[in-house]
Each structure stands twice: as structure tokens, then as C-alpha cells.
Structure 1
């Protein structure tokens, strides 16, 4: 999903600074009673339905996706008003600013106006570690229990961080490659090695966004996992020396690929928007996105040609979920619980999968859906060239541990971007 993850260090420095001062250490420790008291009252979903009626609840998340914004405003908010007389206030804000704000609220020891947060990955790892999130609450959300893989990997781990009920899956993301079959002689590369062979035969027609841009970073991790194996990356020590030893063959591959990239790998696109424009103009032959629906959306908007199709590596592409969490400082945890259930409900998510809201992929176990909704989703995606749920899950590898991502990005910068090759 297009949730921003790349601006994490500025607020981490703020956390570090707060730990230097004795008074702030107290604020950065356990949650104050004013923060935890409201959470203790959310005993069950039915109880929340009684106590939350008539309140206002805030949803904080990346606001750069207009289709997702429309879905909240046109589908979720009216449903919350009708069912519970609850007003939903959508607050567009980048995740680094959200977390900075949560740190400030925590230091104050008071409750705040941030209720539901769109979060995942490295940000969840640090927010949970620093006590910024409320939980566990997932087992109180009916949509989680009734519609999702409650014992599945992505319900238990977020970028290998144990979730333990502190967030609920919100949408499926998976690194997906896109290309025009004619540019690949009707055979898309299904491995990093085949991609290298294609690059050598078509110099200048491939590139990727430079890490730490999070989609380019995922591409680098995906290639490394394809070369050395996911287990080797997962098992490696989370140190620069340990990671370098484990992933060196992957870095060597990226250096071998480098001279055959656009502009001989001397420079890289900085944003996915730039990559999209290059692909649309036939300047390059392959695009990629964390959203498997990206190609369909761009085709509908007449940015990509109608023959654009998704493809994956045979050994799998990195996948993850985005999640919804509740701020520990929220004064409306009961209303937040109701909002998360509505946003992940079968009715709301099926609407979110429609073209006008961006073909978003729900985080559901399809066997738990009504036959009508299962058929609707499957036919919708098939007709638009979006990978089916079965195809996605057959080509998935989990994300590596959140704390290793910055290390891999640093090694790429040192040995590939600024390397001698």
C-alpha cells in the first residue's frame, strides 16, 4: 500500500532525546492512568456499541490517495453515522508526523485526539515498542474473527514483528511487476537471473527507484531474497557485518545488473511517479508497485497501455499487509474499535475493491466470504487484469524483519550506489 515509511529517523531522534531528560523518561515510560483508563473500559464489541454512540472518532493516515479518501468519506463515514450516530473525522497526515504527535501526547501524560491509525512495518515496530499503541484488541473486532486468517502469518506478524493483537489487517500489499508482453517476447522473467538476462539483451530498458524510497527498497530486498533465499536473510544477524555476509551475493547481482540499467545505473528514479511516467512513455519496459491493482488503475486512467499485465517471480514476491491500530492515548477507544470493524467489514471492503475506490485488495480469507461477494471480487479482478487472491498467495514471501530494512538500504547505498562496479 502507499503508506509512507521512509521518514522514520527524524522522530526516532525525538524519542532518543526524550530519554535523556529525567522528567521525559517518566513520560516515555508506562502509559499514564489517563491514557490507559479509557482502554480498560472497552471490554467487548457490544459494550463499545453502547458507550461510543454519538461520539466523534478520528482516522489518521496517509492522505495522498484520493480514491481511498473518497471511500472513507462516501462509504465508511455514512455507515458509521447510520449505525452508531458516530461522526468520522479523516485527518490526512504522513506517518512520521503522526508518530511525532503521539510522542508529544505521551510526554504530556494526557489523552489525545488521535484514535485510529493507518500503520505497518517499521513504524509499527517502533510505535509498539515505545508504548504508543493500545492493545491487544484484535480479538474484540468481529470482522477480524469472522473474515480473516486469524492464525495466518499476516495476522501474527507485521514485517516479522509479532502483532499480538495490537493491529488488525486493513489491506493486502504485494510487490508486483508490470510489463507489456510484446516487450518481453510474451515471456515475462520469473526470476532475478532471467531479469538479468533480459537487461543484458535490452540495455537501458529497466531501472528501479533508489532506496530508501520504500517501493525501490522492496525491489532490492525481493531481488536479494530471490538470489540468496528468504531464510538466509531472515536468519542473518541484524548487524551491518552479519547482513553483509548473508546478502553479499545479492549485492553482487545488483552490481552486475547496474551497467545494463537506464543511464547505466549511474542514476536512479527517485519516486514511483517518475517510474510510472517512464514506463508509460515506453522509456523503460517494466514498472512495479506494492499494489497489485496498480496496473488496472493506471489503465483505467489511460496512463498505461491496455496490454499492461502483472507478473511475479516464481519463488515469490514480497508481501505484507497494512493495518489499523488504536492510539494508546485515544480517549475514544470504544468508537475506534467500531470504526476499525466497519473499515474492515465485508460490505465496506467489497466497495473498496470497486474501480472508483482503486480496486483495493481486502485482507480476507475468501473461504469465509458470502458466495456472492467472493464471486464479485473474483470476477471484478479477473475482468480488470488484477491478480486473483489465489495467484497472489501462491507467489508470496513475507517481509524481512523491520529492523533489518535500514541496514539493507545502507549496504545498497555503500556497495551498489557508490560501489566501484
Structure 2
């Protein structure tokens, strides 16, 4: 069964936040009685709901402002206030409020995933379960699929709704790769040796660079071994050492001989566009299409994956436990994950995002519309991307792998 279940976005820094008890608030008692989406619609009418998330993506911001916000007002008489804030700041704010015994706060809907979801769930910062109260989840998504059940190996338990999909995708100019793109670690090393200084990657803990390192490790030692390894430094090092050894082997042939690394993917893209390096990458599967349409990448730039696959994940929407308008928050999540809104988000002007939907639950017309949007854009087919996916490594192992890279590669 073909699905678009691929697991954005944004994985922030890992924070160990202590769980703490607070007295149950009046708001929680009231909104916990919400039993259905229709009830949430009635209770949310006339409210103002906030959406907190990364604000650095102008196209995603425009989508919220131009598509979601007007729809919420017109359909439900609910006002949306978008608040740009990095996820680490959001979690710190929620934790501070909870530790202070705050009965309610200003944060309602949160854009979250991965390590940050693990942290928020452990610290009991989220309201839920919510998936049974969001119509779009049941109507449009694979409710039993991996990304509806696990987020970076952490059980979701209904506390977040899939929002957007992401997969590590490489970008290269086919004119420079006459013999074909390097679709495994062996070919990548050979290309680096033949073209010194033309390959590099962003330094972990930058989240895409961290994914690149994990992908190299999984390509060499196998995802299963990484997944089964114990989440402690000593045991994990034994398992991933061949991958770290590879990164040390390729290091002298990297840009600046691996003595320094780009710090952001924006910097990586700029270097690629300027011809300083021959390879870029992104967690956004439509990255090449977007960059080509913006005339930042050459028309000969195309996407490719490793033959064994690349890391895929999903971003999600959740509700803060201290939200005082949980009904309106449920309605907002439903609208942001609705078929109409997500089909608009898939358009070029809003970033070519791939919806988190089960294609078999969509109409033939919607499936065709999405296929037409992505056609001839230098990107891979949805089917090929799904066939070449590696699940994300468990959240608790990611900071350990980053620390081992720093110790055994960066400072080697």
C-alpha cells in the first residue's frame, strides 16, 4: 500500500526538562470534557488562538497568514495569532510557567517533533490525547502507520497530529556528475577524492547536518544495528565506529580539508549555488524545486537519494497543557491539516510541502493535483522517496551521536 507517510522540519536542541506536578486548573477540567471535533467547534467560537512555531520560513508564514487564518475566521469565527519562536524557547517558556504553577499561558498550538516532543512529553507539557478529536487525522491519515504511532522512536499516544513530512534529500548539478550521482557512501568517497574540496556538510548539532551524519552511519553499519544499540555513549560508539571512521577517511578531501564546516544549510546552499561545492542537501523533499523556481539553483540541478535510503521524519502539531483555549486549538490543528489547506501548502508559492496524508484516502482529483505540482521540478517521485526511507534514530540517541562526532571526528 503506497502512502505518503514520510516522516520537517525542524528538530531543535535537546533539553532535559524536569517533569513537575501542578494542580489541575479550571480550564483543563472544562476543556478535557471535549469529546469530539464538533464540540470543539462550538466551544471555540469567538476565541483567539495562538500558533507558536519557527518563524524563519517566509513561505510557511505566508501560508498561515493568507490561507489558514482567513479560513479559521470565515468557517469558525476563530482568530489566529501567529507567534514566531524557536522550539527551545517555547519549551523553556512552558516549563517556567509550569514550575511557577501557572494556571494558564499564552501558548496554544505548537509546531514540534523529535527530541523536543520527547522532552515535552516527559515533562508533561502537552495536552492530550488529541488525535481522536481532530477530524482530519481519521479522515486523511494512516492512523496506524509508523509516523502516526512514533516520533523519533517515541510513542506519540495521540498527543500530536502529523503536520508535514520530511526526508533528507541530496541536490547536485547533473552536468557535474556525468557518471551519475553518488548514491552510496563508497561513491561519495570516490567523488570526494577525485574532486578535493567540493564536498562538505553542516556541522552537528545543526539538525540537517546531524541527520547527514546519522545517514552516513546507517548506510555503513545498517539502521537496525543503530536502533538496537543501547542509548549510552560507550555502547553506541562501538556500534557506530565504522561510520565515524568513514567520516574521518573522507575528512581530508572535504572543503577546507574538514578543518571547518558550514554552520547552516543556508550557507551550504549559497556555497552550492556559487559553485564552491558540488553537493547540497535538505530535509525538505521539494528543496530543489523551490530553489529552481526561485532561480537560486541551476535548471540542471536534481534531487537524489542513497540507494539504501535516507532518513525520514514528520513534524507535528500539539497543544500546550496550559492553553486556555484548547477547543479553538483543536479546531486550528484540524484546519492546518485539512485537505484544502494542505493542498495550498503544496503549491510553489507556499514551499512545495508534501502533505502527511494517506494517498488512498484522497480523491483521484487531489492525488492528480499533487502529482502535477511536483512534476518536472527536478525532484523524485513520491513513490521513490517513500521506497527509500530510513526511520529516524531514537531521540535519546541523537545527542549522544552528536557528541561522539564532535569527539571522534571534529576534534580528531
Give your verdict on TM over 0.5: yes
1:122 is matched with: 115
Which whole-Å CA distance do the structure 2 matches of 1:98 and 1:335 have between them?
19
Among 181, 188, 197, the residue aligned to 2:181: 188
Matched, 1:76 2:68: yes
Among 334, 340, 357, the residue aligned to 1:341: 334
What's the TM-score, normalizing by structure 2? 0.96
Which whole-Å CA distance do the structure 1 matches of 2:30 and 2:151 have between them?
26
Deviates more, 1:293-302 or 1:31-40: 31-40
> Residues 22 and 98 of structure 2 are in contact (CA less than 8 Å); yes or no, is this contact kept in structure 1?
no
Which whole-Å CA distance do the structure 1 matches of 2:381 and 2:180 have between them?
20
Other structure's SS at 1:378 match: helix
Other structure's SS at 1:184 match: coil
> Residues 52 and 85 of structure 2 are in contact (CA less than 8 Å); yes or no, is this contact kept in structure 1?
yes
Which whole-Å CA distance do the structure 2 matches of 1:260 and 1:286 have between them?
13
2:4 is matched with: none
Among 227, 233, 238, the residue aligned to 2:231: 238
Shift of 1:384: 2.0
Which whole-Å CA distance do the structure 2 matches of 1:387 and 1:134 have between them?
37
Shift of 1:353: 0.5
1:310 is matched with: 303
Matched, 1:5 2:12: yes
Among 63, 83, 96, the residue aligned to 1:91: 83
Structure 1 unpaired stretches of 5+: 20-27
Which whole-Å CA distance do the structure 1 matches of 2:28 and 2:222 have between them?
43
Following TM superposition, the consecutive aligned residue runs of length 4 or more in structure 1 with deviations greater than 4 angstroms are none
> Residues 137 and 166 of structure 1 are in contact (CA less than 8 Å); yes or no, is this contact kept in structure 2?
yes
> Residues 200 and 277 of structure 2 are in contact (CA less than 8 Å); yes or no, is this contact kept in structure 1?
yes
Shift of 1:364: 0.7
Which whole-Å CA distance do the structure 1 matches of 2:227 and 2:62 have between them?
38
> Residues 136 and 166 of structure 1 are in contact (CA less than 8 Å); yes or no, is this contact kept in structure 2?
yes
Change beyond 3 A, Cα 1:124–1:35: farther
1:320 is matched with: 313
After superposition, the C-alpha distances for 1:155-175 in whole angstroms (9 at most, x for unaligned) are 101000000100000000000
Structure 2 unpaired stretches of 5+: 1-7
Shift of 1:292: 0.8
> Residues 234 and 401 of structure 1 are in contact (CA less than 8 Å); yes or no, is this contact kept in structure 2?
yes
Among 190, 195, 199, the residue aligned to 1:206: 199
Other structure's SS at 2:81 match: strand
Which whole-Å CA distance do the structure 1 matches of 2:107 and 2:394 have between them?
27
What's the TM-score, normalizing by structure 1? 0.94
Shift of 1:34: 3.6
Matches within 5 A, 1:159-198: 159-198=152-191
1:248 is matched with: 241
Among 391, 396, 402, the residue aligned to 1:403: 396
Shift of 1:4: 5.0
Among 139, 145, 148, the residue aligned to 2:138: 145
1:271 is matched with: 264
After superposition, the C-alpha distances for 1:315-365 in whole angstroms (9 at most, x for unaligned) are 110000000001111111111111001000000000001111010111111
Higher relative contact order (CA 8 A, sep 6+): 2
> Residues 192 and 250 of structure 2 are in contact (CA less than 8 Å); yes or no, is this contact kept in structure 1?
yes
Which whole-Å CA distance do the structure 2 matches of 1:323 and 1:158 have between them?
9
> Residues 38 and 332 of structure 1 are in contact (CA less than 8 Å); yes or no, is this contact kept in structure 2?
no
Shift of 1:294: 1.0
1:112 is matched with: 105
1:46 is matched with: 38
Which whole-Å CA distance do the structure 2 matches of 1:248 and 1:383 have between them?
40
Matched, 1:282 2:289: no
Other structure's SS at 1:182 match: coil
Which structure: greater helix fraction?
1
> Residues 279 and 286 of structure 1 are in contact (CA less than 8 Å); yes or no, is this contact kept in structure 2?
yes
Matched, 1:134 2:127: yes
Shift of 1:43: 1.1
